[in-house]
Structure 1
Amino acid sequence: MAHTIVLGNEKGGSGKSTTAVHLVVGLLYAGYRVGAIDLDGRQRTLSRYLENRQAYMDQMQVRLPMPDWVSIRRSEAQDRAEAEAEEGARFEEWHARFSDRHDFIVVDCPGNHTYLAALGHSYADTLVTPMNDSFIDLDLLAQVNPREIAQSKLSHYSEMVFEQRKQRMLRTGTNLDWIVIRNRLSNLDAKNKRRVGRVLEKLAKRIGFRLVPGFGERVIFREMFLSGLTLSDLAEPEAGMNMTMSHVAARSEVRALLRGLKLPVAQNAFDSAGEQEPQRGAA
């Protein structure tokens, strides 16, 4: 059975789909078979990223690793129960198909609460929740007492994760590994950054997740969307990317994330992804 990685939260703009596509391509370069499922039938950010990647390859006449992928279209049924049953059946069908012939399945959930998002969470072997490094995004996990900087109440999202953990336990008898990653981290040692870090460490013990470093505030992660490229493509001459020192730093963040997830892979699986020397004098 494939190992399922679910990218989920209920806030947009946290880098969820960017993280998803970097996980997909990083695993492909490591030699694993990967299937991707886009559950956001409206926004389709992961799907559009992969479509851009295919268009880039066609235009440049190059070959880069591509996953098998599908976007679960939204049901047109007017009845809510009928629509949920139809969408759920589509997801379960494609998950079963991919599970038979892939090593990993990466599922990108919409940035709001939907039936499909909750169902996807219940299939996670590894749940990855990206958040921007701020108290606004921290509210995704729990309400925080401003005086004591301590948890006062779990968020709706955290409660949903607990419920889907139960559903998974009933269905498979196994638990999921929940990981929260801090994206758009500033390079400066700011007071607010330290405060957010302390609260997250406390919440990790109380709620039951692991903290893993995410991606810094780097333009390169947003610029690559139009071409569908990732930092793992840097080693490929076909990608047409000239490495700078900024790319090297961003690539190291991708590798650190891949290793920090502690997926069932070879110990050195991600050590050489994107190997290429930067241009001298580049900043």
Structure 2
Amino acid sequence: MGQPHFIIFANEKGGTGKSTTAVHTAVALAASGYKVAALDLDERQRTMTRYLENRSATIKREGVTLPQASYAVLEGRTVEEFEAAVDQLASNANVIIIDTPGRDDDIAKAAILKADTLVTPMNDSFVDLDLIGQVDPDTYKITRPSFYAELIWNSRQRRAQATGKSVDWVVLRNRLQHIDSHNLRRVGAALDELARRVGYRVIPGLSERVVYRELFPKGLTLLDLEHMSDVQIGHVTARQELREMISGLDVPPLNSSATLVA
């Protein structure tokens, strides 16, 4: 099928909504006609895999047709086994989504090197911002990029040298609060300042909503409102957030007339 587009979700901090965002991205792209394969590198927690397994079970149990990605868990622990798993998925996919574990290891680094789109979800706080940049405690200005930002920078340089391709690094502001605050503005200003130095884009992600936790047992996403009972205005608002997030990822279309569905 040609070279697939790799979307890598990576963040060494837990609790940023990484797997939930990866699942929603996979399903949204599948709904748009892409053949999507999802590879879960966290062989212990398997959050993305469990979500997609629940979705497959719902499709079978309720006899409904839902857009779905193929999925696999990396059982191996070597880079060679990772490469073999990717090759197998690439034979029948034009988008591969990889959910990396919240740790720094050789397989996660190998995944980052494959990224066409590298997505780093983060909560809107200085605790999460510390992953990519250190902040002056008085001025809230960025003092220097963090180790993780330097890791990504080096990986992008290596990929450019090896393949001639650039990497679109996207920092996803998940769990944004619905009210304005000094913290919100300060984090936003620091992110924008650091973006100019290390070259990522900032886009809004998914807000903190109970609905995301409710969707997991059936493997449903915000694309599946017609299969849910008691749909409320919050569900519709959250679906619009999803639409904006998918659009912001700027995944190359299958053809010139393709339109992303969310």
**1:200 and 2:188 are equivalent in the alignment:** no
**Contact residue 2 and residue 98 of structure 1 kept, 8 A:** no
With normalisation by structure 2, the TM-score equals 0.93
Deviation of the 1:98 alpha carbon: 2.5
Q: Which residue of 1 aligns with 2:25?
A: 23
2:142 corresponds to which of 151, 155, 165: 151
Deviates more, 1:143-152 or 1:108-117: 143-152
Q: Which residue of 2 aligns with 1:218?
A: 209
CA distance in 1, matches of 2:26, 2:259: 14
Aligned length: 258
CA distance in 2, matches of 1:119, 1:158: 16
1:133-282 alignment, distance < 5 Å: 133-234=124-225, 237=226, 239-265=227-253, 269-271=259-261, 273=262
Deviation of the 1:136 alpha carbon: 0.5
Q: Which residue of 1 aligns with 2:50?
A: 48
1:72 corresponds to which of 65, 71, 74: 74
Deviation of the 1:162 alpha carbon: 1.6
Task: Let me know the Cα RMSD of the aligned residues.
Answer: 1.5
Deviation of the 1:54 alpha carbon: 1.5
With normalisation by structure 1, the TM-score equals 0.87
What secondary structure, in the 3-state scheme, does the structure 2 residue paired with 1:174 have? coil
Choose 1 or 2 for highest CA Rg.
1
Q: Which amino acid aligns with 2:111?
A: G
Identity of aligned residues (%): 44
CA distance in 2, matches of 1:123, 1:242: 41
**Contact residue 76 and residue 82 of structure 2 kept, 8 A:** no
Relative to structure 1, the CA distance from residue 104 to residue 117 in structure 2 (aligned partners, 3 Å threshold; closer, same or farther) is same
Deviates more, 1:63-72 or 1:249-258: 63-72
For structure 2, the residue ranges without an aligned partner over 5 or more in a row are none
String of CA shifts for 1:16-39, please: whole Å, max 9, x gaps: 000000000000111111011111
CA distance in 2, matches of 1:253, 1:159: 30
Deviation of the 1:110 alpha carbon: 0.5
Deviates more, 1:37-46 or 1:145-154: 145-154
CA distance in 2, matches of 1:139, 1:256: 26
CA distance in 1, matches of 2:176, 2:65: 33
CA distance in 2, matches of 1:166, 1:92: 20
Task: Point out 4+ residue stretches in structure 1 off by more than 6 angstroms.
Answer: none
For structure 1, the residue ranges without an aligned partner over 5 or more in a row are 76-86, 274-283
Deviation of the 1:94 alpha carbon: 2.3
CA distance in 1, matches of 2:91, 2:135: 43
